[in-house]
Every structure is written in C-alpha cells, then in structure tokens.
Amino acid sequence: MKKFFSSLLILASFASSVFSQAAAKGNVDQAFLNDFVRRNWTTADGLPGMTITAIMQDQKGYIYIGTYDGLVRFDGIEFVNFTRTVDPKYDFASVRAIFQDSNGNLWVGHNDEGVTCLKPSGEIIKYTTENGIPHNSVRAICEDHSGNIWLGTASGLCYLTPAQKVMQPTGLHELGQETIQVSQLYCDTAGRIWVSTAIENDLFVYSNKKIERFTGITKIKDPSVNEVTQDRSGAFWFGVAPHFAVRIKENEETVFDISHDHLEGTVVNSIIQDTAGDFWFASDSGITILHNGMYTYYDKRNGIADDYINEIFQDHEGNIWIAYNRGGIEKMSHGKFRTISMPIAINAICEDKGRGLTWLGADDGLYCYDKDNKFIENDLTNLTKGARVRHLEITSDNEILISTYSDLSQIRLSPDNSIKVWSTGDGLAGLKCRVAIKTKTGDYYVGTTQGLSIIDGKTGAITNITRDTGFENEFIMALFEDKEGNIWVGTDGGGIYILKDKEIYRHFKSDLGLAGNVIFKIAEIDNDIWITTGTGISKYLAETNSFFNFNSRNGLGIDSVFQMICDYTRTIWMTSNKGVLSLNLSEMQDVAAGKKSKVSPKFYGNSDGLITGGVTSTSVSTQDSLGRIWFTLIDGFAIYDPVKSGKNQIAPKIEIQQYTIDNNKYDYNGEKIILQPSAKRLSIKFTGLSFISSDQMRFRYKLGGFEQDYSDWSTLRNVSYTNLKPGTYEFTVISQNSDEIESAPTEPIIIIKKPYIWQHVWFWVLIILIIIATAALIVLHKIRKMRRYQIELEQKVEERTHELKLEKEKSESLLLNILPKEVAKELTEHPNQTIAKKFPNVTVLFTDIVGFTKMSDGMTAEEVVTMLNKMISKFDERAKREGIEKIKTIGDAYMAATGLSEDADNKGALKMVHYTQGLMDDVKAFNDKSSVKIQIRLGINTGNLVAGVIGKSKFIYDIWGDTVNVASRMESTGEPMKIHVTESTYEQTKDSFPYSSGVEVAVKGKGEMKTYFL
C-alpha cells in the first residue's frame, strides 16, 4: 500500500503528451452536439419527481431512476414507480443511491430509511441502524471483489458480507473518521474501495483490509474530491471541486479545467468514458465533453434542461443518460442524421470539391459552408443575397451553375472564380430559372418557367424551345443527360420530352405508362433511368420503351416522391411530403422484376435526428465525395453519414413484466402461470429493452398449444387470451428494433389451465359406467313391457298398412305438384337418398315486380295475396304449357329454369326467351283487368348449375351455382318490361331474337359484364 502511494506522489514530474496538450489548447467544438438526438422526460411524461438522485441500467436492460418520490423503472416507454404508496411491500419513500450487485440484487439507498435489497426472486430485505448500519441515510453503494456490499452513509461507512453480516472497515478510528460523511464509493479494477467525501483532503482508499487517506493529487491544493473512476486504460480520474478533472496514470498527473465560462461550478458529480473514448464530466454548471483534443460544453445556453447534473452514464446501446437535479432525465443518442437548423428553406445543395466548400441555395440567397462546419461569405454569396436560389449544379469541369428566381436568372461560377450571369436580356426564355446542366459537348441547358434555353458552349448563342416550338408545357422542372447524349426534360404537368441533337424526338406522358406528368427529378441509378413524379416513381425499361411504376399500391407508402439518391451501400434515399425514407435498391429491382409484390420502406423522424418540419417538392439534395447525403429541409439541412449511422445491431432484450388473471395483477418472476378452472381471461404484459427509437419497436408473439404461428408484427406490448381450454401452453415473444434487428424468442412461459372435476377423464369414465348400468336396467324393463304390447301392435300394423297406402297415393300426387316428375319418382323410391345432379346447360329466369314493396304498403293483406296469386297463376299455366320448370317463388319474385338435362345441346335457352315474351303478354293482360298496374323486370342467364332437393320437412327442389346468381343479377340490374340476358344466353338465342347492342353492367362479385336487352 505504501508503494502504491509513493508511486502516485511522483506524478508531477511531467504531463501526458496527449491529455496535457488537449488541456492546454482548450479548443472548443460545439458542433459535436449536433451528432446527438436529445430526449428529455419530466413529471409530464410520468416521472414522479424532477429531482433525479441516481440513475443506472440493470443487467436485464431496464433503466432505474432514483427520486425523492420513489424508485422508478423505465423501459423506454413506461415509467413504473416502486414505493410504499404504490405497493406496501416496497417499504420506502425516497431514493438516494441505486446499485446492482453481481448476483442481480438491486440495492436501493434511502434518505432516512436505510437500504433495501430487491432480489430477482421478488424477495425484499431491508437494513437499517437496527441491523447495524451506521446511519439510515445511505448515499453510496458498491460491491468489492469478495462480494461484500459497501454502504456509504451520512455518518459512517460499513459493508455487508455475503452472509449478511454488517462489518466496519478497519482504519477509520485511527483516522478519526468513525462518522465519515460519504458522497461516493468506487471499486477499482484491483478491488480497492475508494471513498470520497467532497471534503478537502478527505479522499480515502481501502486496501489490504485497511482504510487510508489518499494524497496522490498534488497539482491542486487541498483537493475536494467528489467522484472517482477509471478509464479503459486503467487511469484514475478524480472530480475535484470546484471545476477540475484530474487524471492520474502511473507517474503522470494531468489537470483539466472543465469550467463553463458563464458559471464555473463548485462540484464535479460524475465522470464517464464513452464507447468512442470521449470523456464526459458532469457538474453543477453543466456537462463538459473532452473528445479528440477538443472541448464541448453542454449547458443552458444550448438546450440543457438544468445546469446541475447529479449523474451521467452510458447504456448498453451507447446512449448517454443525464440525471438532472431539477430537470428530470435526458437521453442523448447518436442520431442517424445531423440536422443544422436555419431560419430559411434550403432548396438545393452541391459539393464544391475544388474549393472544399458546400453551397446551399436558399430562398434568400446562396450560403457557403466550409469544412469547419461554418458559414462563410464571399463574392458569390454577396451577389446572390435576396435572390431565391432554386437549383445548384456542379459540372464535370468544376463549374457551379446557380438557377434563381430573380433578375440574376442563371449564374455560372468558373474554376477561376469569374462569374457569368445570363438573363432574359441575353436571350433566356424566361426570367425565372428552375434548373440548369452542362452537357458533355459543353452546351448549357437552362430550364425556366417559360421554356428551355440552350446556350452554345462555344459561341454563347441561345436557342429556346417553348410552347411555340413544340413543348406542350414549358415550365421546366428537371434536366438529365443520358449515356447517348440525349437530354431528358421534365416539365410541371407535361411529362418528359427527350431531345436528340437539340430537337424533340420523343414525348412520354402518363397515358404512355409514366407514373405522372409532374416531373420532379430524373436520375441514373444502377444503369437505369428513374423518374420521380407527383404520383409515383417510374423506372424506365429501355428494352420495351416502357415504365415500371412504384407507388402506395406496391408498398411505397406514398405517391409523391421528390428525389432519389443511391448511396454506396445501395440504399435508395427519397424525399417526399412525408419526409425522408429509404429502401434497398435490390428490393425495388426485385419488385420491378416480379420477384416480390411490395417494397418495405423505412421513414425517418425526430428520433433519428431528423428534426425538421419537412422538405419541399422542388428541393435538390446531394451525395458528397465522402458518401454522405445532404438533405435540403424547409428549415435548414441534414447530413446522413453511412459510416456514423450504422444499424443498431443490438437486438432488444424482451422482458415479461406482469400478467393479469381476470382482474388480479401479478409481477412475473419466471414462475409457471397457473390458471384455475374458473379463470376467464389471461393478459401478459411485456416490453423490449432498447432505448434507440423505443416507440418504433415491434413484437410478435405465440401461445404454443393455442396458436400455430407467430402473430403479425405490432407495437402492442400486451396480449390477452380468453376461455383457454384445460392444458399446458407455452408463450414466447420476438422483438424487433427500429433497424429491424430481431431478438431470439424468449424462453417459453409455461401456462397451465387446470380443469374442473368434470373435465377429468376419470370423471367421464365413471359417468359412462353409471349410464351403462342405468341403461341396462331400463332395457330389461322395456323388453318386458314390449312383449305385452307385441300382440296389440301386430293388429294395429294391419290397420295402419291400409291407411298408409292411401296416404302414399296422396303424397305422390302432392310431390308431382312440388317436384319434377323424375325427381318425385326418385325421392319416392329412395326417400333417404340425397337428390342432386349437375347439369351442363341450364337457362335460369328471375322475374320481380317493380316497386312491389311501395305498392303493397297501400294495399290490404288480402289484396296483396289476391293480386300475386292471379299473376303467378298465369305464369304457372304458361310454364306448364311451354314445358318450363317452375322452381319457386320468393315473395313477388318468380324463378324458373329450362334445360334441366344432362344433354348440353338442348334448346332450353330458346324456350326460356320465348316463355319470357309470353310473361310480358300475361302482365299486360293482367293490367287490362286490374286497377293496380304492374311492371316486371326479367333476367336470364345460361350455364351449368347443381339442382337437388334440400331438407327433410317442407323440402323444396332448388338450383344453385354462379349461373343462378348471375341470372338474379340480370333481373336486379335490368329495366322494367325488358328482357335482360347475359352473353351466354345471347350466344344461344341471337339467331332467333332481336337484341340490343352489348351493354357493360357492373355485376356484384363478377365485375363488369357484357349483357343484352331483347
């Protein structure tokens, strides 16, 4: 131990080359914060209090938060509070410290109630001064390499052995520190326990079973240390009041001034090294970050919720969590996008590799952004102030083309920084220039709102193509030069024109397959030409001179797409009214090739760092030489770097939190779930522990023994089952994070539904035996009784035989009135046989009285029946005369058929059409004698169907099939006193009857059908 202190006292000899230089320079990089997406939670979001005393992540992945109003567990979506006011078993109110030991026990230190141990099994143990700890205000907890749990209190230090015995470390009495006031505890990699007090010169270390004062900090007089930790290299870091961080490794001591210029601070509460190697220092004046020799300050001046930070830590996914003294908690995640907000809309971006600049065209002029992430001014930005810049283009020879809606119209910046301006005075077709490109031949094509201007690269002569010279629409939106040197011209409503040798030789519009006529952009991706329009994306198929279109119908999720950019990972990035989205190019190619039916896009928003109100339809985003995508926004711009924005490869860990049986809730601790026979409803609550875009997580679940397959993906975190049958089930869940990385299925939860007594097999065996015995007794009794009746029955049989013969004759007569003769005969001979046949060519008729319901409302029941009887009787008489088979009547509807023969070549269709003509004559004859005038609709269809007898009582002979359904549709879509037939009937009767020309009719279940009227 003495050697250890001696080596530390030599540290002042010389400073670390890396860290001392960083500390000396003090360079500031506030842009570092732009790479983070920040999310703050307060009492409005469910926290019980704004003062956060402690924060940590447990082994399962939950975030645990200490407040003066209890312990809080957070899964990214829901805050769950643990305190006696919520559940009496949690016998505490406030929380001062939280720690999880190597056995998974969660230790919670309280302000004045000792310490509580929450075991994974659900057991809760509490220790207070009655158990031997020195004070009930427990402010720090840690575990040493022997499994002892150290407790730092407001007045003393102790540790709990694995046998739960309270021990006092030796050495405190000699130092006069029996009532030491502990602020922090830390166990280093060597197993030593560091005890900080935030009091001058009172930093202690416990080693070799003895505690001693540490005097290794030499560059700060009378150091007051509140925080001790180690970095990944093993170096020690000390937080020293008022605003210093001291790094000690071997014989080197470096002091870092981490004060904020507006507020220097009085205490350093937390120090961490993140996975990128950067250091974060939390104090009562904000956060200081040391990275790459640069300082970044995060305080109230740039958005922090509260300058007083109690603690910071980094979770398993790399998120930084901040515990505020008065501002709740905050999470800082590396966003996929770095958003730079501006008070103006950015319309176009281009990279100027020659000058090492990025140009941004805005509604109020041109901006210039340098490699140091700063805006600079130059001659071009000054020239364009106030001009509405609509498009920027970098040419192959490093010229910058700036298209504006101003008197400047079209501007060219040459590599020698000379500026050329073209306007209507020079011959441009319009003052407002929308887009410009430079071709391989050196000519300039400038699209204006009044036509296309072609500037000869050698002579400067300008030729215009407008409505007068061939354009249907002269508002030019997009320009593109293909491999053959043809110029594709996209217009605002007129589709695409293709120019060859400066002449129009092809014109594509939506009537030729283009997705839409409003053309936003044209680009070449993967040797194919892609067009984004106001109504979808078109991929040009050169072999067939046609297009394949993407829109919401094949999964795109949107119809209007402004631009497509393909990055080096073959990911397609798009801008739209719904913001920014991405797709795999291979997926789009598979859909275009017919290998898949739909694409699956991913949309981005605030949780990904894309903090914006949206993009404009005419904006031009770009990909720079480093592969980064620069997106134009209505309120600035955003940068996506594939290198920094990789997928979150950490699959969410699923936790089953709670289950509910009927109305009783239970915390889940890995046990089997037993359902009593009377249990009606089981609900299971689960979560996925991922804190990157937590709200975008999805889940699939399956109850084995009840379901064969997993459910569809859903964001729901609760599932319910009702009235499960007795048996054993296994419940499993799969989760998926926002980057579509799936977890493995959870370990099955065993669910046992117990049966009622009558649901046991033995119960029913017993019941069956009782029934058999009872039945045997009854049978014996019946046999004796039946013998007595036998003689009487034989006499009655003879009498009844005669009566049945008479009844049979009556039944046969009645059957002939109900069924066809052949069917009646077969049914009589074989009464238990199913009567059914399929006929190949049957013609079916439906008739219906027009407006019968309204008509019958004004008539008595007797009048209605009388009228129907007279009319139907006429129909029946004619059917009998002409050999038509009446099927049935349904209210005022009449159904008949012909061709009920196995011979397909019958004349049933002709007989039926002739019969329907007679029906209309019958109706006219009826109207001549009746005060009630009626009209009928008639529908006929011919085809195959099935006929047969259904029912055992009040049976009927009926027909079924699509032929019958379509005949009914012909009647319902027909016209009064007209015969409406399908094309199949028409084909069999057209040579014998005059028909109208074909009429397209929408038929339910069939779509559009061609029909005819006689």
Span 795-820, pLDDT tens digits: 777 777 766 666 666 666 565 566 66
pLDDT at 3: 35
Instruction: Give the closest residue to 33 by CA, choosing from 422, 693, 609, 584.
Output: 609
Structure tokens of 423?
Answer: 């306007």
Burial of 389 (C-beta count, 10 Å sphere; 0-12/13-18/19+): buried
User: What residue type is assigned to position 528 of the chain?
Assistant: D
Residue 137 vs residue 692, higher pLDDT: 137
Phi-psi region of 855 (alpha: psi -120 to 50; beta: other; left: phi over 0): alpha
What does the pLDDT read at residue 1006?
86
Query: Residue 470: exposed, middle, or buried by beta-carbon count in 10 A (0-12, 13-18, 19+)?
Result: middle
Asked whether the predicted pLDDT for residue 16 surpasses 80, the reply is no
Of 296-300, 346-350, 731-735, 945-949, which range is least confident?
945-949
Greatest CA separation for the chain: 133
**For the residues 541-567, what does the mean pLDDT come to?**
93
Q: With cut-offs at 50, 70 and 90, classify the pLDDT of residue 952.
A: low
- Compute how many other C-beta atoms are within 10 angstroms of the C-beta atom of residue 535: 17
Would you say residue 18 has pLDDT above 60? no
319/750 Cα distance (integer angstroms): 34
Separation CA 229–CA 250 (nearest Å): 15
Judged by average pLDDT, the poorest of 138-147, 846-855, 952-961 is 952-961
Least confident of 159-173, 576-590, 677-691, 807-821: 807-821
DSSP-based three-state secondary structure for 935: coil
Burial class (CB in 10 A: 0-12, 13-18, 19+), 243: buried
Model confidence pLDDT, tens digit, residues 619-628: 899 999 999 9
55-69, 195-209, 353-367, 609-623, range with the lowest pLDDT:
609-623
Mean per-residue pLDDT for 641-667?
87
Give residue 809's Cα distance to chain centre. Answer: 73
Q: What distances in angstroms separate CA 804 from CA 797, 801, 807, 818, 943, one per listed residue?
A: 10, 5, 5, 20, 42
- Supply the pLDDT for residue 806: 66
Under 8 Å CB-to-CB from 158, ≥6 apart: which residues? 132, 133, 134, 150, 151, 166, 167, 168, 169
Q: How, if at all, do strands 70-74 and 79-82 pair?
A: antiparallel
Looking at per-residue pLDDT, the higher value among 820 and 194 belongs to 194
Name 54's bridge partners: 66
Listed in sequence order, the residues at least 6 apart from 799 whose beta carbon sits closer than 8 Å to its beta carbon are none
What was the pLDDT predicted at 11? 30
Give the residue-averaged pLDDT of 820-829: 65
Q: What is the DSSP letter of 992?
A: T
Cβ 534 vs Cβ 495: under 8 Å: no
Which among 404-418, 938-952, 954-968 has the top mean pLDDT?
404-418
d(CA 30, CA 710) in angstroms, rounded, equals 48
pLDDT at residue 17, rounded to an integer: 32
Residue 330 has, within 13 A of its CA and on its CB side, a CA count of: 24
Specify the higher pLDDT residue, 824 or 366.
366
pLDDT over 90 percentage in the chain: 70
Rounded to an integer, what distance in angstroms lies between the CA atom of residue 379 and that of residue 367? 11
pLDDT of residue 821: 62
Task: Read off the pLDDT band of 15 (50, 70, 90).
Answer: very low
For residue range 480-500, what is the model confidence (pLDDT) as tens digits?
Answer: 999 999 999 999 999 999 999
Nearest-angstrom CA–CA distance, 388 and 260? 40
Q: What is the rounded average pLDDT for all residues in the chain? A: 89
The CA–CA distances, whole Å, from 962 to 397, 670, 941 equal 70, 57, 10
DSSP, collapsed to helix, strand or coil, labels residue 694 as: helix
Instruction: Assess contact for 392 and 401: CB atoms under 8 A.
Output: yes
Q: What is the pLDDT of residue 383?
A: 93
pLDDT at 23: 38
The whole-number average pLDDT for the span 73-99 is: 94
334, 72 Cβ separation under 8 angstroms: no
**Model confidence over 246-284: pLDDT tens digits?**
999 988 999 999 998 777 778 999 999 999 999 999 999
**What is the reported pLDDT for 827?**
64
Structure-token pair, residue 859: 């008539």
| C-alpha to C-alpha distance for 850 and 938, rounded to whole angstroms | 10
Q: For the chain, give the number of residues.
A: 1014
For residue 987, pLDDT beyond 70: yes
**Predicted pLDDT at 854:** 81
Those residues whose C-beta lies under 8 Å from the C-beta of residue 276, and which sit 6 or more positions away, are 291
What are the tens digits of pLDDT across the range 678-732? Answer: 999 999 999 999 888 888 889 999 999 999 999 988 889 999 999 999 999 999 9
Q: Minimum mean pLDDT among 155-169, 713-727, 787-801: which range?
A: 787-801
The whole-number pLDDT of residue 822 equals 66
CB atoms within 10 A of CB 320: 22
DSSP string of 235-304, one letter each residue: -EEEEETTTEEEEEETTEEEEEE--BTTB--S-EEEEEE-TTS-EEEEETTEEEEEETTEEEEESGGGT-
DSSP category for residue 821:
H
Identify the pLDDT of residue 706. 92
Residues 6+ positions from 997 with CB-CB distance below 8 Å:
1012
Cα–Cα distance for residue pair 579/619, rounded to 1 Å: 12
Residue 171, SS3 per DSSP: coil
